[in-house]
């Protein structure tokens, strides 16, 4: 006996189903078009874009122009490419750092720190340079694990008193900013080892409270307006490097020999006429750089070739600002010039370290090329 085969004709049902599918797809298409034109969808898109920018630490000034938000993907891609470019141009040694504890920022499009930074209190190192940032926020006191604050070449005009709460801070670099004072509370950072306030041009004194910084080995206050060595610096008993060049010094304190651990002392571009004999008591001093233009008296032993001291007397040869044929003056920024001088001196000192002997004086010659 054979099997019975039952055959159903579902062509009618299939036709009904296909019709409904076509209608549903048409409705979906109309709904998509409606949402694209909807103001609510536009708001949602802008909100998601702003959230993405904040998550990536992009400042509002970059994507918001005259109250309107540019949500183009090209803008976000451009910012990300710039970020990658900056990261790839960082020194190799920074690439070795653990990114989980390091915050890095660079570029003139930054006018303020990203909002998301406040929540990353686990960070130990900040590297912020070449930005238009003017203010370091007070919430910096939340970063109790902070070890390094590297903030050179920005627009910073004020340091908050809360910086004194960073008890584990070891390095502070605020060189080539616009600071006119240093908060006394910095003296509470008793573990600080390096302090760089160079190139601010307007600094005239350091607070006495910095005398508490007994662990400091490096101080750079060059290119400012100091008329004397700050008292607090003389009380930094472990100081090994002191750069107070390009200031307004006319003499040195007689108790300069309190800096018993001092090894390198940079005094060039000041108005010193003599060096005190107490300098001979700095037994560990191996490098002394002064401007010899005004010197009329100095201890003979400083120039003795039998001592390990490398004494360098720089004879400056300043050149007036050049003028083009059309009469337009070439004005160089004082800040840029000071920075260039420091880079030249840094390279010169590195070269001196490799020499067994150095010249008793060096004439620094400037060149001006006009095309």
Q: Where are the domains of the chain?
A: 10-79, 102-317
Distance CA 291, CA 232 (A): 24
Residue 11 has pLDDT above 70, yes or no: no
Specify the higher pLDDT residue, 335 or 289.
Answer: 289
The CATH superfamily label for domain 102-317 reads Ribonuclease Inhibitor (3.80.10.10)
Residues 96, 119 contacting (CB under 8 angstroms): no
pTM above 0.85, yes or no: no
Quick: pLDDT tens for 51-84.
Answer: 777 666 666 666 666 556 666 645 555 555 555 4
List, in sequence order, the alpha helices (H) in 90-190.
Answer: 92-95
Residue 83's SS3 state is helix
Taking only the tens place, the pLDDT of each residue in 77-133 is 555 555 544 444 444 444 444 577 899 999 889 999 998 899 899 999 999 999 999
Which residues have CB under 8 Å from 197's CB, separation 6+? 174, 175, 179, 182, 203, 206, 220, 221, 224
d(CA 148, CA 102): 9
Confidence of residue 368 (pLDDT cuts 50, 70, 90): very low
Q: How far apart are CA 218 and CA 193, in angstroms?
A: 7
CA pair distance 76, 125, nearest whole angstrom: 26
Backbone φ and ψ of 128, nearest 5°: -125, 120
pLDDT tens-digit map of 12-60: 667 777 888 888 888 888 888 877 776 666 677 777 777 777 666 666 6
pLDDT band at 305; cut points 50, 70, 90? low
User: What would the pLDDT profile of 135-192 be if each residue is shown by its tens digit?
Assistant: 999 999 999 999 999 999 999 999 999 999 999 999 999 999 999 999 999 999 999 9
Judge contact between 172 and 220, C-beta under 8 A. no
The CA distance from 156 to 151, in Å, is 9
At residue 244, the pLDDT reads 95
| Dihedral over Cα of 187, 189, 191, 192: its sign | negative
Instruction: Tell me the per-residue pLDDT of 185-231, one tens digit each, with 9 for 90 and over.
Output: 999 999 999 999 999 999 999 999 999 999 999 999 999 999 999 99
CA 360 to chain centre: 35
pLDDT, tens only, 231-270: 999 999 999 999 999 999 999 999 999 999 999 999 999 9
């Amino acid at each position: 006996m054979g099997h019975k085969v039952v055959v159903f004709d579902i062509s009618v049902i299939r036709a009904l189903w296909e019709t409904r599918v076509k209608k549903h797809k048409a409705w979906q298409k109309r709904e998509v078009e409606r949402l694209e034109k909807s103001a609510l969808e536009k708001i949602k898109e802008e909100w998601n874009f702003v959230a993405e920018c904040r998550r990536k630490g992009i400042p509002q000034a970059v994507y918001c122009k005259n109250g309107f938000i540019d949500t183009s993907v090209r803008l976000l891609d451009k910012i990300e490419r710039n970020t990658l470019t900056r990261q790839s141009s960082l020194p190799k040694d920074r690439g070795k750092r653990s990114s989980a504890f390091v915050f890095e920022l660079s570029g003139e499009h930054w006018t303020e720190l990203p909002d998301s930074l406040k929540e990353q209190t686990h960070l130990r190192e900040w590297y912020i340079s070449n930005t238009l940032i003017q203010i370091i926020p007070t919430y910096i006191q939340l970063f109790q694990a902070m070890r390094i604050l590297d903030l050179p070449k920005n627009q910073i005009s004020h340091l908050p008193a809360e910086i004194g709460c960073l008890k584990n801070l070891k390095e502070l670099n605020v060189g080539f900013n616009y600071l006119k004072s240093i908060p006394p509370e910095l003296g509470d950072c008793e573990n600080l080892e390096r302090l760089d306030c160079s190139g601010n041009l307007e600094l005239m004194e350091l607070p006495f409270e910095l005398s508490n910084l007994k662990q400091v080995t490096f101080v750079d206050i060059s290119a400012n307006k100091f008329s004397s060595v700050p008292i607090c610096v003389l009380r930094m008993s472990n100081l090994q490097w002191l750069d107070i060049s390009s200031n307004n010094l006319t003499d040195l304190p007689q108790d300069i020999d309190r800096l018993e651990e001092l090894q390198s002392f940079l005094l060039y571009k000041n108005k010193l006429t003599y060096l005190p004999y107490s300098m001979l008591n700095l037994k560990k001093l191996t490098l002394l750089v002064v401007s010899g233009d005004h010197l009329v008296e100095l201890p003979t032993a400083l120039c003795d070739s039998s001592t390990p001291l490398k004494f360098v007397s720089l004879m400056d040869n300043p050149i007036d600002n050049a003028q083009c044929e059309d009469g337009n003056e070439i004005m160089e920024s004082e800040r840029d010039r000071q920075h260039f001088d420091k880079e030249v001196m840094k390279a010169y000192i590195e070269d001196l370290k490799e020499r067994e002997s150095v010249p008793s004086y060096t004439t620094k010659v400037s060149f001006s090329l006009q095309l």
